Structure 1
Amino acid sequence: MTGEDTNPMLQYILNNPEEFAKNLSEIAENGGKALAAYLEPREKGEAATGGTEELNAVVKTLAEVGNYWMKDPSRAIEAQTKLWSGYMNIWNSTLKRMAGEDSEPIVAPSNADKRFKDSQWDDNNFFDFIKQMYLQTSNWAEELVEGADELDDHTRHKAGFYVKQISNAMSPSNFILTNPELLRETMSSNGSNLVKGMKLLAEDIKAGHGDLRIRQTDPDKFEVGVNVAVTPGKIVEQNDVCQLIQYTPTTETVLKRPLLIVPPWINKYYILDLNQEKSFIRWAVDQGHTVFVISWINPDEKQAQKSFEHYMRDGILNSLERIRKTTQQSTVNTIGYCVGGTLLAATLAYLARIGEEDRISSATFLTTQVDFTHAGDLKVFVDEEQIEILEHRMGQKGYLDGSKMATAFNMLRSNDLIWPYVVNNYLRGKDPFPFDLLYWNADSTRMPAANHSYYLRNCYHKNALAEGEMELAGEKLDLSEIQIPVYNLATKEDHIAPAKSVFKGCGCFGGPVEYVLSGSGHIAGVVNPPSKEKYQYWTGNKPEGSLDDWMQNASETAGSWWPHWQKWITSQDDNRVKARKPGARRTKILEDAPGSYVKVRI
């Protein structure tokens, strides 16, 4: 049945009560399996039983908002009156509609809100009423946080984030009885969707070793080295921090300067090599670059004491030395992506301080922050109290579980990366669509305790790199000493490295900076091959003043930023030499790309 039936309420009536009763017993059985999957690791001491510290932090923060409003009775009454006035307006509007009168909605979702696209959210008075009451309440709660002007900025930021998470979780679209589409599917299938959904829930809790690991794609459809991370190459260096991949050339001649890519260690490098069509690595090889990529280890307790300095020395500096030996080139072009770019910037400042800045000729930063003043919602998780909690937990194992970081990133866009999959998987009982990008997103990595603690404290908490206060390998770093050309790419909808934050970081460098703003977000704005003809990018004057002012005079170009970057790189040096194959200059080949490190899963 559909919403076009003569009596629209018929679509919410069971087709077969007997089958529904049978399915209820299966739902209960699968629910028991889900509960067992949750309890078993905790009974064995293999999973944390708490989460109380995080809950306490949420309660404490929201209590500060409540205290602001309650300590002034007139202010509290005004806030309550505003809420109930909104409720009464919605109720009166609904009564008019039920009487057959025309009545415009009191509150409506934004055009970008995908939760309420089903026609019944508007056409059915019951669901429309629930929707409006929810929107009225969530908007009111957000306004309470914004209006608590006596709170410090960080507390207000945290409170706003927590309120949004609670609001997103409580959306009527997440519950069967208040979501018309879910209710129709449940009634028409006599609950078979919930049988499958509860089965998937039990599987995902078991896969998360007692914690729910929401599947965002079908993990059986992808395999690293088989249909993702397939660009041909060899492992030419390895230590207990990373492997170094050299890719096989596809052109007869190559640019004289090799290219070293430093990916983030928070996720795996193959975001830049998802498949031949999307692979930036493959595209760069085809443009004539001798491409080297660092593949970071997926650490365990043995890497607990591996620090930011270790990642610089054993990662970037050791890779530079191997590249010099195998290519006979003393200087390289570099790319750093996200936190890999932050490490690259720190390394550049270190090399400048010790007089070895000529080892790197140019630096490209992809969605990289060096100044964390405007670091966005991730700053919610970083204050002294929360860092101490995190350090205590990392001290128990020597690392931070990758699932914890993955959850934090997903929470930044919970209405895109959490709740749609909860609804699809566990309430609709459908397998998620196979998608290589989401497979990569779920293939998370652990973080060594020493490195992660240093990064959080010195970057997010103290902003020490931008302030010239970061010390690394005995040297105090100054980004203004970096004089080489910089290509600084931001993405317009980035929720991890906001465009405003990347723009502000441009002013930290001492040399020429080309600021480029790409359409879309942290991943899609970067992984945007020219063949797709998607999105756009903006270029403009020297990145000074504010981003809004810069945008006023920026030029928009349709398509991918990749060719623009290639022109920028070759403008530095376009000399070419005979193509270099992995294994030259007696370089020992350890194994085929993508190597073994990237295949280690948590």
Structure 2
Amino acid sequence: MKRDPITTTYDKPPAFVADCSRAPDSRESLDRAAHAALARLSGGLSPAALCLAVFDWAQHFALAPGKWIELTAQLAQDNTTAPVPVSGDPRFAAASWNDWPYCVWRDGFLRLQQWCESATTGVRGVERHHEDVVRFGLRQMLDALSPSNFVLTNPAVIEETLRTGGANFVAGRQHWIEDLTAMLARAPGKRQPGAQAFMPGCDVAITPGKVVYRNDLCELIQYSPSTDTVAREPVFIVPSWIIKYYILDLSPHDSLVRYLVSEGFTVFMISWRNPGPEDRDLALNDYLSRGVLDALAEVRKRCDATPVHAVGYCLGGTLLSIAAAMLARDARADELRSVTLLAAQTDFTEPGELGLFIDASELATLDALMWEQGFLDGSQMAAAFQLLNARDLIWSRLMSEYLLGRRSKPNDLMAWNADTTRMPYRMHSEYLTQLFLRNDLAEGRYCVDGRPVALSDIEQPMFVVGTERDHVSPWRSVYKLHLLTHNPLTFLLTAGGHNAGIVSEPGHAGRHYRCGTRSAGASYRSRHAFFNETEPTEGSWWPRWSQWLHEHSDVPVPGRVLDDALPDAPGTYVRQS
């Protein structure tokens, strides 16, 4: 009998994804053990994937004499009159880099960097993913060789050494010892010195509230009102479980939760439990059913069955979009009044540089490592994110703290970033394969309860936020939701990166945003047209979003007072290490 190819793709995972419903046989266990051993040596990266990329590029580059001529001409031009782009590179910000001989070393390095960029791009016949991998790998090597990383070729270090009599090296050595000790201890609160000064419930995550619901996967926090009346519709926030929830409730001055409460909203937030090896079989749909849907039911129960303003951040936004599509499919769309997605992808065809780590070979290696551990550790995930922006997050920091002896001043965002979490094996494998690799959600293959969900079923108005310098959820990828839906959609692009762009409180210097709205059923406007035709507005985007929420809310009701007998926020799960 002929099989239905579409139905088959719903249920058939790629060969490297383990079937968690059955125990592996001895051959599978042996294969996974070999992959896991390799993954430990390579930091979770696949040497095979890198070799394939280099071979693809090298083979086609060898057959590109026109490219050789172009690169030779560029090399000759670079040594004569070509300008060197220096502005914006923090490694060479000191004025002394303009002095001889440091300017020679700097300009030579930047020209080499430009030349290598040209050599690894535009080679006819190279697969795009392989091109990206080769360019990324070469950039990592060049960043390590930058003259800013060495004492004798960095004028700022030499000046500081002369000024302090070498005290900068003494301080740098102490910083190195502190960081090494914290890394070996694997204590999240000590990953960055000074971060332990910002503890949840004491310095951050201190907006008054109560834990109103708890199961084995999450706690639900309801925040106390600070206004006499509130919008009838509550705001229900689903953060990512890749991070601790209090990125949205940092210190009082930059807490999005506190801001929403002050704007007259009843705010609920999920706090996810930090999983351990025993949670290896938690699935993505467990986070949907026992996380989002159970918490949503409790929110509506406590607010007289009122439809809610649902908000999702990062992976929490991706999961919320699945939930909204599922509710629409099951004739339960009236449970949501609106949907807001903050730096969240729904189409993964352009995941940015994070896609460098997503191919069949890489996922086979990572899958084996997670199978052995039962989870993906936060430090392993943090290392991948640091590589994406190694120039600023690794090399510039090492120069400042170890060569100049200067510690970055600790802040709440630094403390939160050090407070890492873990990813259950099964959930993370499903997320990477079904969403990142196969793009099942955008293409209508992602199933909930055995039936696919479609984002085009969502009718509620949406507010979607992207950030200009996002390495995790590039705004061009976030913008693709316009192609998958036909409902009213307001898209806002704000300054900053994946985290700092969202934590953009009023009064924060240097902030701006662009905002445009597509009415229901309107024709598509490209992302380039949006960016070029939409004038930037100075300031924080929070007031613009608050205004939008109020515009989509019903008449106010008295502030919802919490029972004093309930446990206080931030609860217990956020304190798990």
TM range (shorter): 0.7 to 0.9
Query: Matches of 2:186 and 2:110 in 1, distance apart?
Result: 30
State the Cα deviation string for residues 332-387 of structure 1 (Å, max 9, x = none): 11111111100000111111222222111210111111111222111111111111
Q: Percent identity?
A: 36
Amino acid corresponding to residue 465 of structure 2 in structure 1: L
CA gap of 1:541–1:578, structure 2 versus 1, over 3 A, is closer
Q: Give secondary structure in 2 for the equivalent of 1:507.
A: helix
Cα distance change of structure 1 residues 532 and 79 upon mapping to structure 2, 3 Å threshold:
closer
Deviation at 1:71, TM superposition (A): 4.3
Decide which moves more: 376-385 or 111-120. Answer: 111-120
CA distance 1:451–1:86, shift in 2 (3 Å): same
**Residue 172 of structure 2 corresponds to which residue in structure 1?**
197
Residues 215 and 432 in structure 1, CA contact (< 8 A), matched pair in contact too: no
Residue 314 of structure 1 and its aligned partner are, at CA, apart by 1.1
Using a 3 Å threshold, how does the CA distance of structure 1 residues 217 and 366 change in structure 2: closer, same or farther?
farther
Aligned counterparts of 1:495 and 1:314: Cα–Cα separation in 2: 30
In 1, Cα distance between the equivalents of 2:310 and 2:220?
14
SS in 2 for 1:165: helix
Counterparts in 2 of 1:26-425, with a 5 A limit? 48-51=40-43, 53-71=45-63, 74=65, 78=69, 81-82=72-73, 85=76, 89=79, 106-124=82-100, 126-209=101-184, 218-425=194-401
Q: Is the 1:267–1:444 contact (alpha carbons within 8 Å) kept by the matching residues of 2?
A: yes
Alignment-mate amino acid for residue 554 of structure 2: D
Read off the aligned partner of 1:173 and give its amino acid letter: S
Structure 1 residue aligned with 2:29? none
Q: AA paired with 1:198?
A: R
CA contact (8 A) 2:211 2:220 kept: yes
Q: Equivalent residue for 1:25?
A: none
Change (3 A) 1:580 1:444: same
Q: 529, 539, 545: which is aligned to 2:515?
A: 539
The answer to whether the 8 A contact 2:44-2:365 is kept is: no
Where does residue 32 of structure 1 map in the other structure?
Answer: none
Query: Could you tell me how far apart the structure 2 residues matched to 1:212 and 1:333 are?
Result: 36
Question: In 1, Cα distance between the equivalents of 2:159 and 2:107?
Answer: 20
Distance in 2 (CA, whole Å) between partners of 1:485 and 1:469 is 24
Q: Deviations over 1:120-172 (max 9, x none)?
A: 32112x21221122112111111111132211111112222222222222211
Matches within 5 A, 1:457-496: 457-496=433-472
> Helix, strand or coil: the match of 1:466?
coil
Going from structure 1 to structure 2, the CA distance change for 1:193 and 1:237 (only over 3 Å counts) comes to same
Match of 1:506 in 2: 482
Q: The residue matched to 2:339 in structure 1 has which SS?
A: strand
Please name the residue that 2:25 is paired with: none
Cα distance, 1:78–1:308 mapped onto 2, change above 3 Å: same
Question: Take 1:211 and 1:60, find their aligned partners in 2: how far apart are those partners?
Answer: 34
Offset at residue 207 of structure 1 (A): 2.0
Residues 1:522 and 1:365: Cα distance change in structure 2 (over 3 Å): same
- Label 1:349 to 1:76 Cα distance change in 2 as closer, same or farther (>3 A): closer
2 CA distance for matches of 1:438 and 1:369? Answer: 24
- Contact 2:236–2:310 (CA<8 Å) still a contact in 1? yes
1:50, distance to aligned residue in structure 2 (A)? 4.5
**1:466: how far off?**
0.7
Does the CA-based 8 Å contact 1:406-1:442 persist in structure 2?
Answer: no
Deviations 1:148-203 (A, max 9, x none): 22111111122222222222222111111211111333355454433332333233
Q: Which residue of 2 aligns with 1:6?
A: none
Report the counterpart of residue 28 of structure 1 in structure 2: none
Taking the aligned partners of 2:439 and 2:457, their CA distance within structure 1 comes to: 17
User: Match for 1:564: what amino acid?
Assistant: R
Please give the alpha-carbon distance, in whole angstroms, between the structure 2 residues aligned to 1:508 and 1:368: 14
Alpha-carbon separation, structure 2, partners of 1:128 and 1:228: 44
Flag structure 1 segments of 5+ consecutive residues without an equivalent. Answer: 1-44, 91-104
- TM-score, structure 2 length as denominator? 0.87
Tell me how many residue pairs correspond in the alignment.
535
- The answer to whether the 8 Å contact 1:382/1:461 transfers is yes
> Quick one: which amino acid aligns to residue 449 of structure 2?
A
Residues 1:431 and 2:398 aligned together: no
- Measured in 2, the distance between the counterparts of 1:569 and 1:143 equals 47
Q: Displacement of 1:80 after TM fit?
A: 6.9
- 1:88-146 per-residue CA deviation (whole Å, 9 max, x = no partner) reads x37xxxxxxxxxxxxxx75423311111122232112x212211221121111111111
Q: Is the contact between residue 178 and residue 193 of structure 2 (CA under 8 Å) also seen in structure 1? A: no
Q: Which has the higher contact order (CA 8 A, sep 6+)?
A: 2
Structure 1 stretch displaced more, 188-197 or 482-491 = 188-197
Contact 1:535–1:558 under 8 Å retained in 2:
yes
- Displacement after TM superposition at 1:49 (Å): 4.4
AA in 2 matched with 1:227: D
TM-score, scaled to structure 1: 0.83
Which stretch of the first structure deviates more once superposed, 464-473 or 209-218? Answer: 209-218
State whether residues 262 and 341 of structure 1, in contact with CA within 8 Å, keep that contact through their aligned partners in structure 2. Answer: yes
The residue matched to 1:488 in structure 2 has which SS?
strand
Mapped partners of 1:66, 1:131: distance in 2: 28
* Higher gyration radius (CA): 1
Secondary structure, counterpart of 2:465 in structure 1: strand
Distance (whole Å) between structure 1 residues aligned to residue 163 and residue 323 of structure 2: 60
CA-atom RMSD in angstroms: 2.5
Q: Which amino acid aligns with 1:460?
A: F
Supply the distance in 2 between the matched residues of 1:376 and 1:53 (Cα, whole angstroms): 17
Q: Is the 8 A contact 1:245 1:593 kept in 2?
A: yes
Task: Kindly indicate whether the alpha-carbon contact (under 8 Å) linking 1:65 and 1:159 is maintained by their aligned counterparts in 2.
Answer: yes
Aligned-residue offset at 1:482:
0.7
SS at match of 1:177: helix
Q: Which residue of 2 aligns with 1:519?
A: 495
Matches of 2:559 and 2:265, distance apart in 1: 9
Match of 1:4 in 2: none
Structure 1 Cα separation of the partners of residues 407 and 184 of structure 2: 20
Rounded Cα–Cα distance in structure 2 between residues aligned with 1:77 and 1:376: 28
Could you tell me which of 414, 432, 449 is aligned with 2:425?
A: 449
Secondary structure of residue in 2 paired with 1:110: coil
From 563, 569, 572, the counterpart of 2:549: 569
CA contact (8 A) 2:44 2:366 kept: no
